Structure 1
Amino acid sequence: MHYVSVKSILSKNNGMNLYRGCSHDCIYCDSRSDVYNMNHSFNDIEVKKNSLELLKKALKNKKERVMIGLGSMTDPYIPLEEKLNYTREAMKLAYIYSHGFTCITKSDLILRDMDLIKKINEKSKFVVQMTLTCIDDDISKKIEPNVCPTTRRIEVLRKFQENNIPIVVWMTPILPYITDTYENIDGLLDACIDLEVKGIICFGMGMTLRDGNREYYYKRLDEHFPGLKSRYIKEFANSYGIVSPNNKNLMRIFNKKTRNAGIMNNPKEIFEYLHEFPKANKSVQTKLF
């Protein structure tokens, strides 16, 4: 871990990352890609030490209430968060200044902040976004080794469902010849339907690979799925977009089951929902505890 000072924290779309780098060690992580010009080890977490100060100023000065987004590049609930509390403090600021909040995670540490998440959702809007890629915990532990397995994430989402917190699931990436099976996709969809999620983000059955994360991914394939790297090289070469040979059939299943369940399945529509601040704000006194 190391600290840096930054000049700004919110993007033009009100997204942010309080940390840079990650210790979940997911084998497919695109954030490892060279294009992001990270000048330190990916597991050496960069903490933006003045981010909360910058966020407070930005939220206080906003003329309109917005949805604040967290976690596009780094999971906001990496283990360091348990000690540093940057994510929780950012949520507090959103609550104090009456903004909405949404974050993407794979971690059950998010349950720590259930009290604050409920308060934000009562006052405006909070959307929990959780990544689910593999229904089989044994495989999940291989491809996402340092974070809780899928069955635990589903338990976590159940608690949010019981507290009427909206849920969006990221069903991506889907790894060719590993998780691109009917059993996996059907199992994930059944779990999402049971949880009554608001939407499922899926960009097709496949993944992305580019310089930086490709080399790391292949190294981990050699460790856990011997022989698969050569198959990838033969079929996909240096392609950025890696599409599963089962894409057509699996997307047909995805579209049919989500449509029948009334779950949003169009990424554009879901992103619009995530960015939309409720027009009729609920009247709740700003008192944290």
Structure 2
Amino acid sequence: MGIKLVAGVAALVLAVPLLIGAGVASIVSSLFGSSSDTSGSPTCTLSGAPAGSVAGLTAEQTGNAATIVAVGKQKGVPEPGWVIAIAAALQESQLRNLHYGDRDSQGLFQQRPSMGWGTPQQVTTPGYAAAKFYEHLLATPNWQAMSVTDAAQKVQQSGFPGAYARHEATARAIVAAVSGVRCQPATAGTGGCDNIQAATAAAATAINYACGQRGLPYVWGGNGPRNGDNGFDCSGLTKAAYAAAGISLPRTADAQYRAGTHVPDGQPLLPGDLVYYGPPTHIRHVGLYTGNGKMLNAPDFGQTVQIADYRRPGDDYAGATRPAP
């Protein structure tokens, strides 16, 4: 990560009013991905009058800024953290979701897949990128006592550590302008990895993680590459997915079923729920529900981590649990 600006925001000449008309649509698209299917679109509303406009921001930049703030709210990050994140994104990408950068850097924060920030698809998903930025910020001791530039540098590890300071005033103005937006994701979900929707940040993180493991082989007892294995078994995948969200699960499918908070029969499933198969006395398989009747799972020998229908004729579906911190 490093200097990505080729021209300062101040060099742009248009003053674009924020959070009206198409601006809200841009925020929706930026926060939860774009899709021609709007049946599962999230709802964004204004909780208060925006403080005005910020000179030089395009609709794309406005939407990405609102995404960063909305994710910060969702994760319980206090307002100074939003300013730090906006300043970092201004420096790294001019608040644009770039699909290129220095070496393999991509996205709003120029996060590098080779450095463990996520897959290329993940780091170019604005909501995911913002969540990862905040994850690292919150893990930084005493970050709230630091200057904006020092806190941003702790996360970004840039070769130009003082570069974020120049964006502090603009970042504060942007936060003031977009902080009145509230976005609530649709709970139905699309079932795919291109437009991830979840009702909680933890569920979204778990789905994001599992999506990034697609194509890895089924391995009996496998816990994934981070633990020295080249693949997963079913419960290894779900355990690792929720570990990425800070939630510890038991190791086996049967133990996960018994330890979890069960979704009552007849209640709609939400993306992020764990779905189980087998007789209740001995659960044999678990998957991660992604919405629209789909799940991510590591099915069996000779297969890979994949998206599949969570219900099939004649299956032995046993029920679902909803992990929570």
| TM-score (norm. length: structure 1) | 0.27
**Max Rg structure:** 2
Write 1 or 2 for the structure with the bigger share of helix.
1
Structure of higher RCO (CA pairs closer than 8 Å, 6+ residues apart): 1
